[in-house]
Structure 1
């Protein structure tokens, strides 16, 4: 398989690939100063003609960059799920998504394309996670939560049941969210206070 990205998140994704018995045949990054990730040499910039039959994962944590790059890829996307993740059989998972060590996804939840469910995150029943979302380490989504496209749910945050988080939101680390959040909001703290709206 192939990876696009050579930062810290790429090291995690490379480890998941290894634990799933995958061999990384090429690792692309636009930063030509990057040399290797988890012992795998960086091949260079993305090459549409290299290993054309191999699937690829975008191993970049930034939602907007991951979304932009996804439109430039001609290889087929594949998802990676670490063997330690606990995922109910009724869960649906889109393509290009990465489910990291120790995460839990409960019944009837739907996970979109190019989503990151990071280390130890918990997604309870009937949640809807749109494309390009990043659920950061240790975040907890209670039942029937909907997360809009390209939003970041910060590390250790908690989203109360039946809430809607809009598109392009940033929920700060450790936040406790108890109300619906509009598109492009930045939220921080245990009172779900909207700090600002992103441009």
Structure 2
């Protein structure tokens, strides 16, 4: 079995943990060694906290080629301003695990990068390109031909139309929907239930139906 260290904790980290456990229920694939976390010191959901999120702790495990990592610290609050937390660790990209729930449906022609978590009942259409360090939450749909750049975030029940482009760090909220062929700009936030009918600018915050700009993430 491959070994996994989850960088993070309660929240996205424990959702990744649950997804891994569901994978192992079907076919044992991952041994969760534990979490890296700056706040918790003992355990998270029964798994040990191995240490803080720092290069010194990571280096203890990098020499074992069977150890992989998952970076879960991406969210509305943990955006581009916090990327240094990942970059400072200097973990090679190919040492990040991609976790796909057994109930997810992923087209054979989809291309998926490293450090991706695809959760229950997600549908990923043909000819999609999914980059690195991306969360795709339960029951969301990624339309055919769409591209999700690194650090994108797709919340549960979101629907991405065909040939849509989520630029680096774009966040699509719960139950949000996009028209086909639109682009969501770098580190933009599309709020809960929004309906996106036209391109969203870089760093914009949009809400509503149709989606309108209410602020910035800079």
Report if TM-score (shorter chain) is over 0.5.
yes
Match of 1:17 in 2: 20
Q: Aligned match of 2:71 in 41, 58, 78?
A: 58
The answer for unaligned runs of 5 or more in structure 1 is none
Greater Cα shift, 108-117 or 13-22: 13-22
State the distance in 2 between where 1:60 and 1:101 align: 20
SS at match of 1:90: coil
Shift of 1:37: 2.4
State which of 36, 39, 43 in structure 1 corresponds to 2:46.
39
Say which SS state the counterpart of residue 20 (structure 1) adopts: helix
C-alpha RMSD of the superposition? 1.6
**Could you tell me how far apart the structure 2 residues matched to 1:134 and 1:5 are?**
16
CA displacement at 1:190 relative to structure 2? 0.5
Partner of 2:146: 127
For 1:33-112, what aligned pairs fall within 5 Å after superposition?
A: 33=40, 35-46=42-53, 47-52=57-62, 53=64, 54-62=67-75, 64=79, 67-75=83-91, 76-112=95-131
Among candidates 2, 5, 9, match of residue 5 of structure 2? 2
Count of residue pairs brought into register by the alignment: 198
1:55-99 CA distances to partner (integer Å, 9 max, x unpaired)? 100122425277333212344212111111100000001101111
TM-score, normalising length: structure 2: 0.85
Q: Which has the higher helix share?
A: 2
CA distance in 2: counterparts of 1:186 and 1:195, whole angstroms: 6
In structure 2, do the counterparts of structure 1 residues 34 and 9 end up closer, same or farther at CA, with 3 Å as the change threshold?
farther
Query: How far apart are residue 36 of structure 1 and its match?
Result: 2.6
Deviation of the 1:101 alpha carbon? 1.0
User: SS state of the match for residue 51, structure 1?
Assistant: helix
Q: Does 1:186 align with 2:205?
A: yes
Aligned equivalents of 1:73, 1:198: Cα separation in 2: 25
Partner of 2:27: none
Relative distance call for 1:79 and 1:73 in structure 2 (3 A) is: farther
State the TM-score, normalizing by the size of structure 1. Answer: 0.93
Displacement of 1:196 in angstroms is 1.8
Whether the 8 Å contact between 1:6 and 1:34 is mirrored in structure 2 is: no
Q: 1:82 to 1:59 in 2, by over 3 A?
A: same
